[in-house]
Amino acid sequence: MADSPETINVNKFISDSGLCSRREADELIRQGKVTINGQVAALGNRVTAADEVLVNGKPIQQREQTVYLAFHKPVGITCTTDQSIEDNIIDYIGYPNRIFPVGRLDKMSEGLIFLTNDGDIVNKILRAANNHEKEYVVNVDQPVTTDFVQKMSNGVPILDTLTRKCKVVKEGPFTFRIVLTQGLNRQIRRMCEYLGFRVTRLRRVRIMHVNLGTLPVGKWRYLDAIEVKELQRKVEPSVKTADQRFAGENPPFRKKK
């Protein structure tokens, strides 16, 4: 086959399906176990998505292409995959393929949230022990004082635990910026409530290296190649877990009973 941007080596085509590695695919080709459109394949053959590739007489099923979305969630949208819930994030976005929110923002909060069909990376990101930073800009109903900033920074007792020390910076008379490495349920709101403050607006502006930037409320964009590569690099040391607890959610690939 002629080489072109639309063709890939048949060993990569097989490897991309998740069946085996490229080296193992080469061995299958050497053994005559791979056919392309009915013809026995040879090492170096190239194929397109329109070609029929069989291994041991069975068609290769290509894995769904992974997608990574950054979404500016509006207030009032619920971060759930349960489409029976009104104003759920899945129906709001209306993406044509099955995707899942990575973690959540409570209904009255807004800002950056990831959505993806990559279940492996979902589990890795959600492990609190991975220390992935999340940054928020928060408005409260009382003046932000030095004492408030210090107490928020040093940890607040909520949900039978003391929150981790974190970076808190005063942004304005009633506004502060906070960087967390935890994902406790309604953590910032509970921390503020413990200190006698009420949150009037909460907006997440960064997850790890990805910034909300100028993305309009209610809009989404694809993470670019550099962002995805860095995301994969940062979560690579993470250990997957089968029983990861979500704040109010079932794991994304487990059906509700």
Active-site residue list: 106
Could you tell me the CA-to-CA distances from 234 to 44, 166, 207, 244, 253 in Å, in that order? 34, 20, 12, 19, 22
- 59, 53 contact by CB (below 8 A): yes
Distance CA 244, CA 124 (A): 9
- 66, 98 contact by CB (below 8 A): no
Distance CA 97, CA 80 (A): 16
Distance CA 32, CA 13 (A): 16
Using alpha carbons, select from 78, 60, 57 the residue that is nearest to residue 16: 60
247, with CB counted inside 10 A (0-12, 13-18, 19+), is middle
The torsion of the CA quartet 163, 79, 74, 176, rounded to 10 degrees, works out to 0
25, with CB counted inside 10 A (0-12, 13-18, 19+), is buried
Vertex 102, ends 101 and 105: CA angle to 5°?
Answer: 80
